[in-house]
Amino acid sequence: MDTSVDVAVIGAGAVGLACAARLGRDDKSVVIIERNNGIAREVTSRSSEVLHAGIYYPPNSLKAKLCIEGHRKILERCERQGIGYRRLGKIIVATDDDEIQSLYRLLENGRSAGASGLEIINSKQVRSREPFVRAEAALLSPNTGIVDAHALCRNWLAEAESFGTSLVLRADLVSVEGPGEGYKLSVTEHDGSVFVLKAKAVVNAAGLQSDHVASLFGIDPDSESYRIKPCKGDYFQLDSASGITFNGLVYPVNERSGLGIHVTLDLGGRIRFGPDAEYVDRINFTVDPKKADYFALALKKYIPRIEARFLTPEYAGIRPKLAGPDEGFRDFVIRDESDKGCPGLLNLVGIESPGLTAAPAIADRVAEILASL
């Protein structure tokens, strides 16, 4: 491995890997530093794997623009490289008049943001798409789909490696010196030894630790509003003996902090419900089986036949949120920190959903910024 490179990418989740592949294409020498013993073991591996259409985010926000752009790029990549995906379509359901008003607001927002193919369907159309769902109306997003996130990440890594990128696993960035001619990054390996990597530029794609990594460069996460507020989401699996089936993704409307406890399918056809949204002080991935009652209650509103006994704890993910409970919308932070005395440092902070969908578009943005420095 080169100990002196153009770009060090901190973190081998979807975002870091997409960035490494993109920067390799630009002829940059790249090393990826990852503290786990494999790629995509944190936020990326605990998502719903949904390719979002960009309905919810304010028009012109990074979340909206990069979601729509990233979605298109991922579909092209999946087609070209044989990565598994399915365009299942999604409905957001309304169960009363107030919720129908919310659907129309979402329709308007999604169209202004550039999401394509959106339409309102009536209760009969909902039932013919999803016989187990009861709703007065729904917003149909035909282009929403699911993807094999791990295959996608492996594909980005393979592309990055084809350009000579090295991935260093079990390697934790612990301190930073610089800037001088770039940065000297001290990285602790699994055996306790430390190596120093020199990099002209650094992409901080450290997910839940992106605020901490920014602080290693002397940036105060609190004064810059980079502090991550971890928000846990649990999933439960549906017992196939329940007899309940779904043909696509089904979401409630009018939820806070997340998209509501919804129905997702994976490429193997397994059905899961979640994630809920619970702000937490520490990272903990256990799913409390007692939550099954609460999940069943939330789901019963639009899936009358659901029972808590059909639900088994599956897994949990943690969102790297910038907005705390009941705070307003926060966009992705994708920022060159030259004006804070850190030229060549790109902080990617608050890359929560739709970060998987947006990853290749985030990578393009990173490449453009680095090319302009």
Residues that bind ligand FAD (CB under 6 A): 10-16, 33-36, 40-44, 46-50, 52, 172-173, 205-209, 213, 233, 275, 317-319, 351-357
**How far apart are CB 10 and ligand FAD at their closest, in Å?**
5
Q: 137 or 197: whose CB is closer to ligand FAD?
A: 197
In angstroms, rounded to a whole number, what is the distance separating the alpha carbons of residues 134 and 305? 10
Q: 28 or 46: whose CB is closer to ligand FAD?
A: 46
- Beta bridge mates, 86: 146
**How far apart are CB 239 and ligand FAD at their closest, in Å?**
21
Q: Work out the burial of residue 118: count CB atoms within 10 Å of its CB; fewer than 13 is exposed, 13-18 middle, 19 or more buried.
A: buried
Q: What is the DSSP string of 254-302?
A: S-SSSS-SEEEE-TT--EEEE---EE-SS------TTHHHHHHHHHHTT
Q: 141 or 209: whose CB is closer to ligand FAD?
A: 209
Q: 190 or 309: whose CB is closer to ligand FAD?
A: 190
Q: Residue 324 carries which side chain, given as an amino acid letter?
A: G
**How far apart are CB 126 and ligand FAD at their closest, in Å?**
22
**How far apart are CB 32 and ligand FAD at their closest, in Å?**
9
Cis preceding-peptide flag for 320 (omega within 30 of 0): no
**Hey, is 207 helix, strand or coil?**
helix
**How far apart are CB 280 and ligand FAD at their closest, in Å?**
12
**How far apart are CB 261 and ligand FAD at their closest, in Å?**
11
Decide if 171 contacts 192 (C-beta within 8 A). Answer: no
In angstroms, rounded to a whole number, what is the distance separating the alpha carbons of residues 339 and 368? 17
Distances, alpha carbon 58 to alpha carbons 73, 210, 241, 277, in Å? 21, 24, 41, 21
**How far apart are CB 174 and ligand FAD at their closest, in Å?**
7
Q: Which of 176, 187, 280 lies closest to 228 in space, CA to CA?
A: 280
Q: 13 or 221: whose CB is closer to ligand FAD?
A: 13
Contacts 24+ apart (CB under 8 A), 175-179: 175/216, 176/202, 176/216, 176/217, 179/341, 179/342, 179/343, 179/344, 179/345
Q: 211 or 336: whose CB is closer to ligand FAD?
A: 211
Q: Which of 106, 125, 98, 146 lies closest to 301 in space, CA to CA?
A: 98
- Written as six digits, the tokens of 88 are 């299942």
**How far apart are CB 209 and ligand FAD at their closest, in Å?**
3
Q: 10 or 94: whose CB is closer to ligand FAD?
A: 10
Q: 137 or 264: whose CB is closer to ligand FAD?
A: 264
